[in-house]
Structure 1
């Protein structure tokens, strides 16, 4: 779009300049609207799935995946993610990624209204900060988005600044993967940095694929170029490994830690990717850049405050024994044997033998 605008300006036709600016603003607002709607749908889907899990747990009869309510939530999740995907084709990636905080804000409101969860003061303060940050993001973000064509993606792909950026990312990823796999460093920052580095490639490829599909729908076929399929492979592969590491983080750490850190790291990587690959901040005024970064900071603080009081899922301690697993007992209390007594561990051993015998008999 900047190239088109400069062409019209060089020809000195004010009517064409106004037409181009109007078209750019329409695309910009459409991208924001699609992203917000997609994030709200994702919030609804998560709360619907949570409601389905709670209801199935109370009934205790059938698995959750047999519930129509759960499948409704999954369908909404797919529609919401599809909306986010489409939004990258209309608005800058550095704006669409931070708008993910809308999902967290909407999730809190929905859980309080429909699931009757407790609302805390930090939720109100965090929501206010996140909404203020979102307003600053929308107001001061780059208001123009380049038409993503196959030739443009190829040009960006072989540019020296992106190749340098990609080399740095590969080196950092190899170092972090070595620490995580070989040195067994299971710190949450290490895992989330792995996710963020992959997310950077995901944002670049998603915007490229979405933009080329959008151009094809509008009449300029882009799907015949090899770069489209290269970006499609990068998108699928980076998404797959990103989900893998994110699931590992969810297993090792609590969701109240993973969610805000992942949002901050993902947003930062998406903004950097948009700046380096798509040059989205080129020509943007210093005031706009500072206010945009302030909006990101307020959104980060808001998400941290909201996530801080979310219920934590505690991992069951291996030294605790559920009383309802003992034959003849119906209590759900937990007892922990004294480690200093000579019989410590004997009850657990008997229970393991008993449960193994029952499994063999069945």
Structure 2
């Protein structure tokens, strides 16, 4: 049950994170041939690219199956580990620099994921399509779904034409809001597949087909507007914002639809939220400062190499730099002005 879902979620992150590296490695081997960024399709003849695509397919399938065994509150935040895996493997196999901020972000992501696993809800509320249908009829979820659809339409047709090119939140909010509904569809389809393998006549149930159609529509909208956001704004900006908003929306939808939080004690609720916030900080550090070089000169003077011993004499350069960062006191400032005035009078 829960252990299988956790294992599938972790395996999904590993496969998806590794797929990015394999596909990137395959694209880099296209020396002299038409690159994908130039409209070429030579990568289709590169086996590494296909291996990466296969890994991504396996990862997405594992992620899909994880929702059938574990709560969405746990599975969705653990998707951040794919970013961590990709960053670590890129630094090893692609020689991409992982600076201090990135390493701290990786550590925070691991710690946050561990905290979320420890405090995640252990029991599963929905185990059949019949119970899923009852959950979907809940007035709270109906209100949530209507709010999501109305807000998405307003963002697409009202805010999009005006602010879509200048505000990163417009398209990312559309992806996140619709994504919360797509995760609910995935959860229902995962339950349907589990019942199908157990021999139940699931194919005759109309709910399964309705969920499948809704999932295709939601994913199409997500991909469309996520591509728009990535085309306009920097990836290092879009990725952490999308992760935070998408995961928050999924956790809200899960709390309303599956009511997983009702069976959690206060300690576990605080632990889950703290773990999510820790992952959020880690993802932010990993992306926001990805291209920022970190040198010892950025450290305070007492932490810089050669400054560990406080008894070492200051060089004239250090003294000059330290004085540059010290503002004049009001009395000194006035004294300097008075001295200048006296010189002008003479």
Structure 2 residue 211 is matched with structure 1 residue 238: no
Q: Of residues 22, 26, 32 in structure 2, which corresponds to 1:59?
A: 32
Unaligned ranges ≥5, structure 2: 35-40, 293-346
Q: Normalising by the residue count of structure 1, what TM-score does the alignment of the two structures yield?
A: 0.76
Note the 1:16-35 alignment, pairs <5 A.
27-35=1-9
Q: 2:153 aligns with which of 133, 154, 174?
A: 174
Residue 249 (str. 1) matches residue 223 (str. 2): no
- Corresponding position of 1:221: 201
Distance 1:276 1:34 in 2: 24
Q: How does 1:86-235 map to 2 (within 5 A)?
A: 86-186=65-165, 187-235=167-215
1:70 matches 2:53: no
What is the TM-score normalised by the length of structure 2? 0.79
The C-alpha deviation readout for 1:187-217, integer Å capped at 9, x for no partner, is 1111100001110110100000011111221
CA distance in 1 between partners of 2:185 and 2:85 (Å): 27
Which among 277, 282, 288 is matched to residue 297 of structure 1?
277
Which runs of at least 4 in structure 1 moved beyond 6 Å after TM superposition? none
The 8 Å contact of residues 147 and 215 in structure 1, kept in 2 or not, is answered as no
Deviations 1:243-275 (A, max 9, x none): 010111110011111111111111111111111
Query: 1:330 — aligned with what?
Result: none
SS of structure 2 residue aligned to 1:282: helix
CA distance in 2, matches of 1:136, 1:223: 39
Q: Structure 1 residue 163: deviation in Å?
A: 0.9
Looking at CA atoms only, which structure, 1 or 2, has the larger radius of gyration? Answer: 2
Q: Distance in 2 between matches of 1:283 and 1:216?
A: 28
Shift in Å at residue 124 of structure 1? 1.4
CA RMSD, 1 decimal = 1.5
Structure 2 counterpart of 1:40, from 2, 11, 14: 14
Cα-to-partner distance string for 1:42-86 (whole Å, 9 max, x where unaligned)? 111101111111111x33267222211111111111111011001
Instruction: Provide the residue aligned with 2:243 in structure 1.
Output: 263
1:222–1:228 CA contact under 8 A, matched in 2: yes
* Cα offset, 1:181, TM superposition: 3.9
2:263 is paired with a residue whose SS is coil
How far does residue 242 in structure 1 lie from its aligned partner after superposition? 0.4
1:44–1:60 CA distance, 2 compared to 1 (3 A): same
Supply the distance in 2 between the matched residues of 1:274 and 1:184 (Cα, whole angstroms).
30
2:27·2:43 contact (CA, 8 Å) conserved in 1?
yes
The whole-number CA distance in structure 1 between the counterparts of 2:281 and 2:26 is: 31
